[in-house]
A and B are shown apart, each in its own frame.
Chain A
Amino acid sequence: DSGVTQTPKHLITATGQRVTLRCSPRSGDLSVYWYQQSLDQGLQFLIQYYNGEERAKGNILERFSAQQFPDLHSELNLSSLELGDSALYFCASSVVGSGGIEQFFGPGTRLTVL
């Protein structure tokens, strides 16, 4: 158990809908990362937050947004869902947001868009 929690574990929804994925980092970690694992794109970085502020952005679609709250948990919002958004979404956390620090991954949320 990495100490990073994600809810829900599974999510099944329809095209056009909006969903929210939640992540709680390890105790003491200030930085949260979101990654997407899909069959065609592999594992790729979406976005990073550090202590409530956006730190870095990757290949995140405009339909997706995220935030980190004062209690340091984070939410990833996916809207106008398409079939291609079906994927495993991971949250990771690290102590700080700067380089060279180990990231710990949560169990993931499996999203299925029908």
Chain B
Amino acid sequence: GIQVEQSPPDLILQEGANSTLRCNFSDSVNNLQWFHQNPWGQLINLFYIPSGTKQNGRLSATTVATERYSLLYISSSQTTDSGVYFCAVEITGANSKLTFGKGITLSVRP
């Protein structure tokens, strides 16, 4: 099946710092989504980004489908950004299930 690898596995930042989270995937995809899982376990949709670039406030994401990777940028990080960030993909031509990476645990310190 498709492989979804996220890096780095853990990230510790000082409040105000910027960061880049990476997602590599091994096959052609129809859909790519980034999620933030907060400390209460809720999965928050950040971006639906099968290709191209999107921005939402301090967050932005870029997917280069031809090279099979996506990047999530967090600027001016805040303590509320802490949690686990997941990348999930849907393989082209298969059913519409999402395959998740293992996640990146981000801790932002005040």
Chain A residues in contact with chain B, CB under 8 A? 2, 31, 33, 35, 42-45, 48, 55-56, 58, 88, 90, 92, 94, 97-105, 107-108, 110
For the complex, what is the distance from the CA of A17 to the CA of B93, rounded to whole Å? Answer: 38
In the complex, which residues of chain B have a beta carbon less than 8 angstroms from the beta carbon of A103?
A: 31, 33, 96, 98
In the complex, which residues of chain A have a beta carbon less than 8 angstroms from the beta carbon of B96?
A: 31, 33, 48, 55-56, 94, 97-101, 103
The segment out of B18-26, B42-50, B56-64, B71-79 that lies at the interface is B42-50
For the complex, what is the distance from the CA of A44 to the CA of B1, rounded to whole Å? Answer: 13
CB pair B100 A42 closer than 8 Å: yes
Q: How far is the CB of A94 from chain B (nearest CB, A)?
A: 7
Q: How far is the CB of B96 from chain A (nearest CB, A)?
A: 5
CB pair A100 B41 closer than 8 Å: no
For the complex, what is the distance from the CA of A42 to the CA of B86, rounded to whole Å? Answer: 11
Asked whether A42 and B41 contact (CB < 8 A) given A33-B97, A101-B96, the answer is no
In the complex, which residues of chain B have a beta carbon less than 8 angstroms from the beta carbon of A88?
A: 41
For the complex, what is the distance from the CA of A102 to the CA of B94, rounded to whole Å? Answer: 15
For the complex, what is the distance from the CA of A48 to the CA of B94, rounded to whole Å? Answer: 13
